[in-house]
Amino acid sequence: MIVASGPIERIGGQVRRDLRADPYLVVILLVAALLACFWVWHRVPNFVTWDERDRLLDSLVVYSSLIEDPSLASLRESVAWGRAPFGATFYLYTLAVLPVVVLALLLGEGGALAGVHSLNVEYGYFETWQATPAWIWTGSLVATRLVNACLAVGSVYLTYRLGTALRDRATGRLAAALLAVTFGLAMLAHEAGEDVPALFALLLALYLLVRSVQTGSRRRFLEASAAGGLAVAFKLTAGLIVPVIGLGYLLRARRDDRPLPDALRRPRLLVGGAATGAAVIALGFPTLLVGHVDLVIERFVGQSAGRAGVALGPDAPTWWWFLRGYLASFGLPLTAAGIAGVLASIAALRPGSGDRATASPTDRDARILLLALLAAFLAVLSGWHDVRPHHLLPTLPLVALLTADALARFRDRRPPLGGPLIAVLLVTTAAFAGVGVAGYATTPRDAATDWLDRTAPENATMATYHHGFDETAVPHRMSVAHRWGPASHEDRNVTCPEYVQLSYENLLYLRDVPPAQREAGVRRNVSRRAAYVRGLLEGDYAYEVAVEFGPRPPNYVPQRPTPGSLVDILPMGLTPRNDFYGDEQELGPGQYVVILVRDGACSKPVPAW
């Protein structure tokens, strides 16, 4: 406790000083908290992404195994369970759901919790989800999402600190305000994943690094290395902070007028930082601590090496993926301002630039570190097949900081234009985020789930056509007949269920587009599945449309932006909650649901899916 109390007291003291010195900061943090926490219970007791499901199961499986068999062997095997060693999120969410586990034991529900680890992978662990009391899932999901919301607010505060170190409190305030009203951050705070925790650790490492360059503090450098290691333990792409930490070491050596060859020949501090970061990374992977070294190596080497080739979305130019991700996260006005702000920050580094003549060397070094980290992320992500908003999350505060810095300089030079421009950016970005977050209160899948819960008889069965139940609207009590999975499961399908549910993803088979423009999940058996979906909607299979939730696509055919088209993606920056690909949250049009009810005898055979 004595060791931990020092940093905690120092952090608390800094926060109190900032709140006293800047009365606007508390407003910014409250706005960030409101956007991150609003309707955070959406979709519970169901999951919003399969990543959220897997990370929550990682923690609950360990508790379940230890309740049934409190032994070291049980701990070792349950920690190693999972799709992949996800690192420090295990610690975070294991602590977050602990109150739910304790409450379950106190209420005598330990038996139900103990059964969680007896997992049946079929239909996304549907059997396990349905056999476990709904309140356990609800409590666990809300707890883990609230942790993400707190870390999102913490990321806004760290952006404030970075802006203050970059230039002054006004710049920090503006950067924090821009990030606080960014829909991309608020959206990812509404799910339990690793992206927001990794962002918080990454910004902490960057801030400590900037302060170590400014002050020459060896302790700050080692703390930056430790925070960087924690960021890597949360998400491997955060490892891009490592070369930036090395750059910070060289920048400090230059400020000390220390020859760079000498700094590289005697890099005791650099080696100490590397050792500190490596130790934190090792401790951050519980799978490694219980002896499963091979799984961690596979995560670092095998999965990371193959990540660039993973193609979940359509074939499209890299710029298209980047631009649609930033438009969906920032909105159009801030995306345009962000591009201009980053370019202006690069220009400010040129020898003889006006900014260089007025800014302190510390400001310049901080700007170099921000640009270096942003460039590292953009360079790595540009080699991936597709890039989505959660991949771009680490770059959002960097863009906000560089934009705030450029706007502050512009306001100093042209006050009549700078002030109104900043006001317009804040208002339009806040409106974009506000509309997006408000949509969590009226999601089509939640409405469809409520309708089924009220309307469907107790013994009713519903057919769905998805990889897992988290992609459907299904009450916790309802039986599901799914047509996805190994052939050995086909005899479990009900041939004539009371209900059939079709989703936006099912309707994608109706689109007449080349295979290269289809996402990975809708590339197989397209003609056969399209004919079946159209036949269902037109009443060829003894079903009629009972109810729809969300805006129906024209003639049930979704309209998606043409890959590579600039004109088609510009509206994504005007209306939030867009249609994403892959493992993003399905929002807006992506949550469209149509439920059909049987209105006669099922005489026509159903084709294989």
The reply to whether 115 falls in a domain is: no
Whole-number Cα distances in Å, 9 to 15, 16, 103, 212: 10, 10, 32, 19
The two structure tokens encoding residue 170: 């006004």
Whole-number Cα distances in Å, 590 to 349, 467, 521, 527: 43, 15, 14, 21
- At 345 the three-state DSSP class reads helix
What DSSP assignment string belongs to 406-470? Answer: HHHHHHHH-HHHHHHHHHHHHHHHHHHHHHHHHGGGG-HHHHHHHHHHHHS-TT-EEEE-SSSGG
The rounded distance, in Å, linking the Cα atoms of 598 and 244 is: 61
Burial of 565 (0-12, 13-18, 19+ CB in 10 A): exposed
The reply to whether 533 falls in a domain is: yes
Question: Do residues 93 and 60 touch, judged by C-beta distance below 8 A?
Answer: no
The reply to whether 19 falls in a domain is: no
Per-10-residue mean pLDDT, the chain, length 609: 65 92 97 98 96 94 93 92 84 97 94 83 89 96 98 99 95 98 98 97 98 95 98 96 97 87 84 97 93 85 73 92 97 98 94 56 84 98 93 98 96 92 98 97 96 95 90 94 58 75 95 91 91 95 96 94 94 89 84 95 83
The reply to whether 491 falls in a domain is: yes
Domains: count for the chain: 1
> Which residues partner with 490 through β-bridges?
none
The number of CA neighbours under 13 Å toward the Cβ of 407 is 29
pTM flag (> 0.85): yes
- At 553 the three-state DSSP class reads coil
The reply to whether 544 falls in a domain is: yes
- Can you say how many angstroms the Cα of residue 112 is from the centroid of all Cα atoms in its chain? 30
The reply to whether 287 falls in a domain is: no
**Which residues form the domain of 483?**
443-552+592-598
The reply to whether 561 falls in a domain is: no
Quick one: angle between helices 415-438 and 23-37, nearest 10? Answer: 30
**pLDDT score of 433:** 98
**pLDDT score of 359:** 45
The rounded distance, in Å, linking the Cα atoms of 116 and 204 is: 35
How does strand 461-464 pair with strand 499-503? parallel
The reply to whether 56 falls in a domain is: no
* Tokens 């459907």, located at residue: 472
Question: Do residues 117 and 65 touch, judged by C-beta distance below 8 A?
Answer: yes
Residue type, 97: V
Q: In 164-302, at which residue ranges do the beta strands (DSSP E only) sit? A: none
